[in-house]
Structure 1
């Protein structure tokens, strides 16, 4: 079976009794189902899960027009509509930045690295750039604008962790070893650091 994202692989499991899961793995979509499902149940649940996955991705990956509307809605909700962008678009040339804004022409660019991230993270970045339409720097007035958004601290932590993970991963996406931390752990093991031998 193939969907818009490539081949679909169905994985049956005897341990899986009642749940069905779908996720992307590289260029494939994996749908995990209970081994007891009939072929008809398999077809039904694969179709259902592919639709759910596509709907979830559509919500997480809005178009430029949807991004603009989202920004307008966020401005109205959290900034009393005072930040009025002329355009809000996805951009692939943001480098390490999550977004950028040009107050003189009221344009906002959002890094396409945010596509697929939780919506509350995207909302924070949009609000951050919208606040720059009101305040150029990162002074107290700027941060006061973001106080109304309840997930500011959480989103900033998420993005810092994501950036740290990117910086400390090898080309295959695995975390790089930290020789200093490994040496410290070897010199001063705590009970949680010791491995149990069978």
Structure 2
């Protein structure tokens, strides 16, 4: 991943990083030496990679995560026929067949933070027992951890093709 280091005389203690158009911008205090800069960049690369890459890249991992979320978030109300990644969904993040309980998740989500993927999975799981987007539907779907934040992430991702993720350290 390309890195751009930005030194700032105003920044006193903190190091911050943000992905911007595929470049990791690392902001550091101006007083840091080259060794401290290298350590800060390595730390931020590790933090952003950890936040950005989902650990659920196979269909089996996706199914396991859906089962965990169904139990933890939805009180096992969802009836899943199958869940798998697909590459033919370019306008949706996921889809559910209410008749069969089959769920398809866009493979564009394989590298989003876990809370974003979890929110989409919970959304689709909720469709297995509540069709449509009624008030009751959203009461269940919004039980996902950081659901509102995930919606914002997906909105930015859809609009710009790549959402920004940031990390902060002191």
Common topology (TM > 0.5): yes
Q: 2:132 matched to which residue of 1?
A: 138
Q: 2:92 matched to which residue of 1?
A: 97
Q: Deviations over 1:136-173 (max 9, x none)?
A: x3286xx5365345557x649936x928x83xx8x9xx
Find the partner of 1:116 among 112, 118, 128: 112
Q: Deviations over 1:22-66 (max 9, x none)?
A: 22222322211111001111111111111111111124x632344
Q: How many residues align?
A: 155
Alignment of 1:1-198 (within 5 A): 5=1, 7-59=2-54, 62-64=56-58, 65-114=60-109, 115-116=111-112, 119=115, 121-135=116-130, 137-138=131-132, 144=136, 147-151=139-143, 155=148, 158=151, 162=155, 166=159
Provide the rounded CA distance (Å) in 1 between the counterparts of 2:47 and 2:150: 28
TM-fit CA distance, 1:118: 7.3
Provide the rounded CA distance (Å) in 2 between the counterparts of 1:103 and 1:79: 16
**Which structure 1 segments of 5+ residues have no match?**
172-198
Is the Cα contact below 8 Å between 2:126 and 2:141 reproduced in 1?
Answer: no
- Structure number with greater CO (CA < 8 Å, separation at least 6) is 2
Q: Cα 1:126–1:44, aligned 2, differ >3 Å: closer, same or farther?
A: same
Q: Which runs of 4+ in 1 moved over 6 A?
A: none
Q: Cα 1:157–1:12, aligned 2, differ >3 Å: closer, same or farther?
A: closer
Length-normalised TM-score, structure 2: 0.69
TM-fit CA distance, 1:104: 4.9
TM-fit CA distance, 1:20: 0.7
Q: 2:166 matched to which residue of 1?
A: none
Structure whose CA Rg is larger:
1
**Which structure 2 segments of 5+ residues have no match?**
162-170
Superposed CA RMSD in Å reads 3.4
TM-fit CA distance, 1:117: 6.0
